[in-house]
Structure 1
Amino acid sequence: MKHTIQRTILAISLAACGTAFAQVSVTIDAAKAGPVINKNIYGQFAEHLGTGIYEGMWVGPESPIPNTKGWRNDVLGALKELHVPLVRWPGGCFADEYHWKDGIGPRDKRPVKVNTNWGGVEENNAVGTHEFFDLAELLGAEVYVNGNLGTGTNQEMSEWVEYMTSDSKSTLAELRRKNGRDKPWKLDYFAIGNEAWGCGGNMTPEHYANLYRNAAAFVRTPPNAKPKFIASGGHDNDIRWTDVLTKQIKQNIDGVSFHYYTIPTGKWEVKGAATGFKEDQWLSTMKNTMAMDGLIRKNVKLMDKNDPAKKVGLFVDEWGTWYDVEPGTNTGFLYQQNSLRDAVVAALNFNIFHDHAERVRMTNIAQMVNVLQAMILTDKNRMILTPTYHAFRMYVPFQDATSLPVAIKNNGKYGIGKTSVPQVSASAARGKDGKVYLALVNTDPNKPVDVTVNVSGMGAGKATGQLLTAAAMDAHNTFAAPEAVKPVPFSAQASGGKLTVQLPAKSVVVTAVE
């Protein structure tokens, strides 16, 4: 309660001095519908990594922690509030060492392997195909399964897909029934390999394209059960993968993946801390995350040349912040704190993805629980929601909404020395409920800003929604203070025919404009 009162006082006090703010103009063209923002832009990623699945989500049916089919009820409930549209599994790098038959049948008889990618810990295969589909069904989410191209075979991938999708009396379909699932599952997306340029095989794009075409030819399903196929694409500035794959693969391809992580220092060796950072790393994080827009534009330009019919989507199936791990934790578990900075990063990326909704049809933040930019952090039977979780929750109205053009005028700059970023980021859409939604982000950690909102084609009388901000750049939730950072109600009323949204420093606002 104390923290809620402090946040409310902060928001009111910032709003009270609104007349002294700089002013930005945002115009929404409500009469001009753009592409639909695919709900899967808000997709999640759960890899066998650290405590991301085991303990963080899966505790097993016999656990004293309340669960459904082995999945934690507290985590399930929180994720349902996000309307999680899709979950990617089992990796990541783990996917190219995962053999699906290790994860079926009685759990006490499954082989124990070593997770060589992430911490060298034992992997008991308690979570396999049946358990994953249970999770997806409990969440009401679509599924994205990553096939093993690295250490697997075409036959193994083909048999896995048959096991999941066949309604026949084949040996594999009967094995699925024996293991407790009568009807086949709906397999929405299937990827052939992951990061083939790195942990997935250190390949060239030309070599991978040949392997992809060969593998995809043998991954067969009943005609009405064919998943969308995803090719493993490039990362960062290496956009040649997108070029080669969209030139050389013309069948059985619905998407090319792309990976980009936001690192404050830009250096993998020393990335920067999740908390306790100075303002220069706030700025570098903003600048590095906003580079996503330029990277997507470069990829889309190649795709428009090679695939003018726009049949193939760009799937940013790994993105988010990557910091140095928390002191005292296993370096292979990638556990990091999550602060207000991460929520601002998430919102900036959402706005970028919306701008490219015609090609960007799926993204998957890394990762869902306890790993990298997580929605949720757990400690045994305890759970907290992160600022990133709250950003996802605020943006739920944008799932499957129709994007609307937004023009920003008089936008300021936030910067230090010669480095700067735009102060305000904005995105708008007409939700499935018919309302016009506006998302605003203030990247400046020091200065609030007034944003005048105009909606062409309709008057803008008021705005109601939620505001996420905090006093400190690295404000975060802990098990001792689980609600230190959370949204508060937000509203603005038009005056003199003008609607002005008063945007506090380092904040995210999502509001319905009426």
Structure 2
Amino acid sequence: MKRICYTLGLLIGVLSSAWAQNRVVVNADLAKDTISRHIYGHFAEHLGRCIYGGFYVGEDSDIPNTNGMRNDVVAALKKMGVPNLRWPGGCFADTYHWKDGIGPKEDRPSMINIFWGGTTEDNSFGTHEFMELCQQLGAEPFINGNLGSGTVQEMVEWVEYLNHPGGAPMAKLRSENGREQPWNVQFFGIGNENWGCGGDMTAEYYADVYKRYNNYIRDYGGPRLFRLPSTANSADYHWTETLMKNVPLHTMSGLGFHHYSVINWSDKGSATNFSTEEYFQTMEKALQMEELIQRHGAIMDRYDPKKRLAMVVDEWGGWYDVEPGTNPGFLYQQNTMRDAMIAGATLNIFNNHADRVRLANIAQTVNVLQAVALTDGNKMLLTPTYHVFEMYNVHHDALMLPLTVETANFELNGRALPAVSASASKDQSGKIHITLTNIDPTKKQEVPINLRGMKASKVSGRVLASGKIQDYNTFDQPNKVQPTEFKGAKLKGETLTVSMPPASVVVLELQ
């Protein structure tokens, strides 16, 4: 009997210790910032099979479509919620001449995609097709102009073509091509990665070029153009400092950076056959997002203490070696529970920085990098990343509830990462949602949540989890990884206790 009691005492002690490692306090009484739905944006570049075969199959395709857009992809993305879609790139943007993609398709010139596979494109997907896609998705268009190889006049005329109400030369051309009313595009990028594929420019040089381009771009009576300069390369704080210092703040609407969770750029590793060590390193890169936001944000705060400018992370996600046997320039990779961990943890970080982070785009939507959907002919599957975005869409335009997180560590070979991340919001109907991610692939997490400034009588939820961190969906098993009902949450007074499986994403709804 003594041995049994002693063993039971040890077990209780271990459980109590593990319990004490995790604690979340949600401060509903301190809420003031709104989580912009636009941090849940997506990215569609002319790269591999993202546009052609992913979104667009043409009106004459046997694959069911509406005006050339795949019905299955559009329906899935509408359910998930795509607040904005960035196009045409990426590196492709600074080689794209928009006038080649308008008018009768048979008259459009072809072009070589010099960055992505050297393929020849027929320009059958251009401005009008992109706007049709955005309309079907219910998404705001986010267009990147060609600063690298284009001209000021070319960019100015594109904005006029998109937004001028009528009477101007480009508005007349738009009308001749079948569109009378302006699209009133709001989000417009003036170049992309101009420190790299967009022209190998220094920050100082780009700042001057940006001012020259921006000087001639006009608003035309619709919503004020959200003008986004080329954002920085991950931890290039000099780029952010230089633009904040040298570019008048009233000429910009936002500034930010690109960041990919890459272990090693020369050997990125397999998307599916990876070790725990590789997983740890990937998550280490993903969680660096917190530091990047804080440090770029500190620079922005010095020049813009009222946070008028939005922080924009217009490219982010996991990047691995392409699938065996596929074109290395097409960046086609599978999507596992590791990618769900990247998505869940990153979106929690974005949510918690809603005061500054107001626009972001995961790379990329279909068939490229950390895609939310993959296609093969007339088949389509949804990835674990898709399910995270669909689960988290409860945060769109909801009031962010500040919280604090004390967490156990995900430990490996003497190194440690925080295992649990969380974010919370209150929607317009008064429902409170809490999203949690446990990145530890072997240990469940018991998480007590203290609910300050709120009253709740009912909790429900969903969970995304699987047997292994390497699990993914295939065209033969498209539903291997999908959300299920979550029964591991119990509410008692002001305390919510949550039991999270290893490597899981949980969304809770409190009423």
What is the aligned counterpart of 2:67 among 56, 66, 69? Answer: 69
- CA deviations over 1:426-473 (Å, ceiling 9, x no partner): 111112321111011111100101111221123444421210000011
In structure 1, give the amino acid aligned to 2:343: A
Distance in 1, matches of 2:301 and 2:376, equals 46
Q: Distance in 1 between matches of 2:216 and 2:376?
A: 43
Amino acid at match of 1:501: V
8 Å CA contact retained: 2:451, 2:495:
no
For residue 222 of structure 2, give the secondary structure of its aligned residue in structure 1: helix
SS of residue in 1 equivalent to 2:158: helix
CA–CA separation in structure 1 for the residues paired with 2:350 and 2:467: 28
Note closer, same or farther for the CA distance 1:278–1:421 as it changes in structure 2 (3 Å cut). Answer: same
Does the 8 A contact of 1:462 with 1:494 survive in 2? yes
Query: Residue in 2 aligned with 1:119?
Result: 117
> Displacement of 1:494 after TM fit?
2.4
Which stretch of structure 1 is more off in the superposition, 309-318 or 97-106? Answer: 309-318
Q: Provide the rounded CA distance (Å) in 1 between the counterparts of 2:228 and 2:97.
A: 19
CA distance in structure 1 between the aligned counterparts of 2:493 and 2:233, rounded to whole angstroms:
49
Structure 2 counterpart of 1:412, from 393, 408, 413: 408
Partner of 1:475: 471
- Paired residue for 1:137? 135
The CA distance in 2 between the partners of 1:129 and 1:322, in whole Å, is 28
Partner of 1:401: 398
Structure 2: which amino acid aligns with 1:438?
I
119-128 or 399-408: which moved more?
399-408
Alpha-carbon distance between aligned partners in 1 of 2:434 and 2:492, rounded to the nearest angstrom = 19
- The counterpart of 1:424, out of the listed 420, 423, 442, is 420
CA offset at residue 513 of structure 1? Answer: 2.2
| Aligned CA distance change for structure 1 residues 174 and 498 (closer, same or farther; 3 Å) | closer
SS of 1:395 mapped into structure 2: helix
Tell me the residue number matched to 2:218: 220
Q: Distance in 2 between matches of 1:382 and 1:125?
A: 24
> The residue matched to 2:175 in structure 1 has which SS?
helix
Question: Per-residue deviation at 1:309?
Answer: 2.6
CA contact (8 A) 1:47 1:367 kept: yes
Residue deviations 1:381-427, cap 9 Å, x none? Answer: 10000000000000001111111111223x21111122210111111
Contact 2:451 2:496 in 1 (8 A): no
The 2-side partners of 1:171 and 1:403 are apart by 45
Give 1:443-482 correspondences, 5 Å limit.
443-482=439-478
**Which structure 1 residue ranges, 5 or more long, are not aligned?**
1-17
Deviation at 1:499, TM superposition (A): 2.5
* Runs of 5+ consecutive residues of structure 2 not aligned to the other structure: 1-13
Query: Given the superposition, is the C-alpha separation of residues 119 and 285 from structure 1 closer, same or farther in structure 2, using an over 3 Å criterion?
Result: same
Alignment of 1:72-87 (within 5 A): 72-87=70-85
Counterpart contact for 1:274–1:338, Cα < 8 Å: yes
Distance apart, 1:284 and its partner CA: 1.1
> Counterpart of 1:328 in structure 2: which amino acid?
G
The aligned counterpart of 1:253 is: 252
Cα deviation, 1:251-278, whole Å, max 9, x if unaligned, reads: 3210113100001x2x101011111111
Give, as a single letter, the amino acid of the residue that structure 1 aligns with 2:462.
Q
1:313 deviates by: 1.2
Question: Does the alignment pair 1:305 with 2:302?
Answer: yes
C-alpha distance in 1, partners of 2:256/2:366? 22
1:380 corresponds to 2:377:
yes
TM-score after normalising by structure 2? 0.94
Cα distance in 2 for partners of 1:387, 1:378 equals 15
**Local SS of the residue matching 2:497:** strand
**Partner residue, 2:5:** none
Give the direction of change, closer, same or farther, for the CA distance of 1:48–1:496 in structure 2 (3 Å limit): closer
Give the conservation status (yes or no) of the 8 Å contact 1:283–1:420.
no
Matches within 5 A, 1:39-438: 39-250=37-248, 251-263=250-262, 265=263, 267-409=264-406, 411-438=407-434
Q: How many equivalent residue pairs?
A: 494
Q: Secondary structure at the match of 1:211?
A: helix
Structure 1 CA distance, aligned partners of 2:16 and 2:465? Answer: 19
Matches of 1:447 and 1:387, distance apart in 2:
20
SS of residue in 2 equivalent to 1:297:
helix
The separation in 2 between residues aligned to 1:176 and 1:460, in whole angstroms, is 53
Counterpart code for 2:296: N
Q: Which residue of 2 aligns with 1:15?
A: none
- Following superposition, the deviation at residue 225 of structure 1 comes to 4.3
Distance in 2 (alpha carbons) for counterparts of 1:408 and 1:112: 53
